[in-house]
Amino acid sequence: MALKTEEMVLNMGPQHPSTHGVLRLELVIEGEIIKSVTPHIGYLHRCFEKHCEVMTYPQIIPYTDRMDYLASMCNEFGYVIAVERLMGIEVPERVEYIRVIMAELQRIASHLVAIGTYGADIGAFTPFLFCFRDREKILNLFEITCGARLLYNYIWIGGLMHDLHPDFIRLTKEFIKEFRPNLKELNDLLTFNQIFIDRTANVGILPAETAINYGITGPNLRASGVNWDLRINDPYSIYDRFDFKIPVGKGENGTVGDCWNRYYMRILEMEESLKIVEQAINQIPDGDVSSAIPKRVKPPAGQIYSRVENPRGELGYFIVSDGSVNPTRIKVRAPSFVNMVVFGELCKGHMVADVVAILGSIDIVLGEIDR
Amino acid sequence: MKNPEEIFEILKDKFGEVIIELFSDKPTESFISVAPLEIDKVCLYLRDKEGLNFKSLMNLSGIDDANGEKIKDENDNEIIQGGTLSVFYHLESIDLKHKVTLKVSTDRENPEVASVEEIWRAADWHEREAYDMFGIKFLNHHNLIRILMPYDWEGGYPLRKDYQNPEFYKGMKVPY
């Protein structure tokens, strides 16, 4: 007699450690096989866009910190670039260099969390502690720069809150020297660990065509073999002055666009970010970091869509100004929000346990999905 | 690589009346205004036509133009009657490296726009968000429900300029 089977609906979350925040996944499963996944979001909705309409442009900067709270510097960076383009402000060289250094250090810190928690999600707890040990050093660098460890309000429209700490350059050089061997250690421990590879290779394969159609950006898109990085392809700030490569997924262990590739992109990107930081601290010129800060931020009437490469992909700000001190509308194109759409597609046909592996490899931050 | 003027000419030749106008006043980025119910055909053409290749949708954003008449309702709250709601589409071609912005404006009382969700799957959640926040109905969207607000939210569309905070949610007093 055949065993009677039927589909079952299973709720994963909203309070679940591997959903990286408050996310509810509605899984329809048949035995262990996923039939469909529906993500339910909005548990962290804090009305960012509504708040923006009643605040002045500089007041919005601390709010942008709180979207992707693992990459606050990059969020501020994107926002101030958008406002500066709208107002036509040229910022001093030194400011550009400091911004790039901060954004790249933040990228490393953000990727360390992504990698560490990914390991923890699928059962490797030691790399998590190693990653957080290294991230701590970057947070210390941020702390001596602006006093805060997570939410900085450091990058201002037209300049910076204040100049670098006298020790910053020395400590950053020390950090780079210490971090390079740690990265190799992390590779030995996790990246090329056969258990880890068996767990993640050939799982959740995302072909390039699908990725582009779904609007996937950042490391997830590059893991699918598309050479696309806004720092090179639509350069902003001074990224065209540095020598660095864009890692692209090659499918060394499995198929192009699988979970392992998405994970590995982040390892390779950290190395490239180190190169950028190294070049930037060697070239940094002297100057005044507050000379271009406008007394009154009042952009002319108009609209602009401006974007930067965040650790998780393309972060876009669509700003509509009516010529007053408050924006009429700010829409944030959060990379995690768009990357999440494909998630249901990726999970189909996999096992329940793979949902966690796929979700971790997309690397979402619910703070910016829900805004 | 084509600039917005060339793309506007191509679209004007192909679609005629549907393509309304090209705005290019600085400092605004130039955008092409399109009829709301034909936007899906225009987008499909932009995606598949050789030499245009707009394979990706960067962003889709609703906006309340608030250009209607401001009147007071019975509770002395200011509401907006008439005017338009708009949607901006930011398209990009990864292989040809050009960008274009489209805009549709639709009636505020009965906002209907053709969905582009089947052309770019990226539009799925963006359109749901625009519906959630502005009440813009995307025709032929397969699952047009609220996304960030609770599914059973009855307080209206929060990003409209005349939105009033509801006093109660499901019989519970909302503290402010």
| Domain presence at residue A34 | no
Which residues form the domain of B83?
4-164
- Which residue of chain A has the CA closest to B149? A42
Task: Show Cβ contacts of residue A67 under 8 Å, excluding neighbours closer than 6 positions.
Answer: A48, A75, A332, A334, A365, A367, A368, A371
Which amino acid is located at A221 in the chain?
L
Nearest to A212 among B56, B126, B150 (CB): B56
Residue B147 lies in a domain: yes
Q: What does each C-alpha distance from A115 to A67, A183, A272, A275, B174 come to in angstroms?
A: 20, 11, 16, 20, 40
Which residues fall within 8 angstroms of residue B56, CB to CB, at 6 or more apart?
A212, A213, A215, B91, B92, B93, B94, B120, B122
Residue B170, in any domain of the structure = no
With CA atoms as reference, the chain B residue closest to A227 would be B94
Supply the pTM of this predicted model. 0.89
The helix (H) or strand (E) run that includes residue B172 is: strand B172-173
Determine the Cα–Cα distance for residues A111 and B150; give it in Å rounded to an integer: 32
Question: Would you say residue A23 lies in a domain?
Answer: no
User: Does residue B136 lie in a domain region?
Assistant: yes
Name every residue whose Cβ is closer than 8 Å to that of residue A188 and which is 6 or more positions away in sequence.
Answer: none
Chain B residue numbers touching A47 (CB-CB < 8 A): 158
Q: Do B56 and A340 touch (CB under 8 A)?
A: no
pLDDT tens, position by position, A31-40:
888 888 999 9
- CATH number for the domain including B40? 3.30.460.80
Average model confidence (pLDDT) across chain A? 88
Q: What angle do CA A46, A237, A233 make, to 5 degrees?
A: 90
Mutate to test the interface with B, among A84, A324, A329, A337 (most CBs of B within 10 A): A329
- Residue A254 within a domain: yes
CA distance, residue A214 to nearest chain B CA (Å): 4
Contact B29 A341 (CB under 8 A): no
Size of interface A-B (CB pairs under 8 A): 91
CATH number for the domain including A190? 1.10.645.10
The pLDDT tens digits for A121-168 are 888 888 899 999 999 999 999 999 888 888 888 998 988 888 888 889
Kindly list the distances between the CA atom of residue A365 and the CA atoms of A74, A95, A313, B82, B130, in Å, as whole numbers in the listed order: 14, 28, 12, 39, 21
User: Residues B98-108: what's their mean pLDDT?
Assistant: 87
DSSP label of A247 = -
B127 touches chain A (CB under 8 A): no
Q: For residues B3 and B6, what is the distance between their CA atoms, to the nearest angstrom? A: 6
Q: Is the pLDDT of residue A237 over 90?
A: no
Question: pLDDT-derived band of residue A100, with 50, 70 and 90 as boundaries?
Answer: very high
Q: Is residue A267 part of a domain?
A: yes
Spatial distance between the Cα atoms of A365 and A339, rounded to a whole number of angstroms: 11
Per the domain annotation, does B86 fall within a domain?
yes
Residue B171 lies in a domain: no
Q: Tell me if B28 and A303 make a contact (CB, 8 A cut-off).
A: yes
Count of domains for chain A:
1
Task: Verify whether the Cβ–Cβ distance B28 to A304 is below 8 Å.
Answer: yes
**Contact between A157 and A89 (Cβ < 8 Å):** yes
By residue range, what is the domain housing residue A139? 57-296+349-370
Distance from chain centroid for Cα A78: 12
Please give the tally of structural domains in chain B: 1
